[in-house]
Amino acid sequence: MTLVVKSSLFDVSTDELFAFHMNAENLARISPPWPPFGLVSSAKATELGDVQVFRVGPWPIARTWQARITRVVPGRLIEDTQESGPFLRWRHQHRIVQEGGGSRLTDVVSFRLMPTPAGAFLEFYLVRPALLAMFAWRHRRTRQLLDPPAT
């Protein structure tokens, strides 16, 4: 399994950061414009057992991606696991902890594309850098939405 980790500090409470990530509508607000990504179906508020369906990639090669919320620890953790989609395995955790006067969000993704040398090459040199860039974008957008500059 390949591991991707992105961690950032936010000037909000753990409850506020957790609530932001439990709102499924915020995923579209923080996702980068690449690759094309759309939420096909989801409950507005995320709960344990919910299934979220996405379309990822450009037409005509877009793929459907279905993930289930498999673990929720209020104020601390949200975990989703791919049920079907572009990966052989996918597990994503949003870990939230209090740090100083704010909160630290750590996104931890473990994934497997395919169990071959070519798959390992693609994971390390293509997918992992793309995921790191995506999570850097998401953390910047989350900061913009939750930590607006003082006027």
Least confident of 28-42, 97-111, 125-139: 28-42
- Above pLDDT 70, what percent of the chain? 92
CATH number of 2-146: 3.30.530.20
* pLDDT higher than 90, residue 10: yes
Would you state the pLDDT for residue 151? 61
Q: Which of 3, 16, 6 is nearest to 107 (CA)?
A: 6
Q: Map out the domains of the chain as residue ranges.
A: 2-146
- C-alpha 72: how far from its chain's center? 14
CA distance 109 to 121: 17
Using 50, 70 and 90 to split pLDDT, how confident is the model at 41? Answer: confident
pLDDT, residue 46, reads 80
| pLDDT the model gives residue 63 | 86
Record the tokens describing residue 40, joined without a space: 């096909």
- CA–CA–CA angle 91, 92, 98 (5° rounding): 140
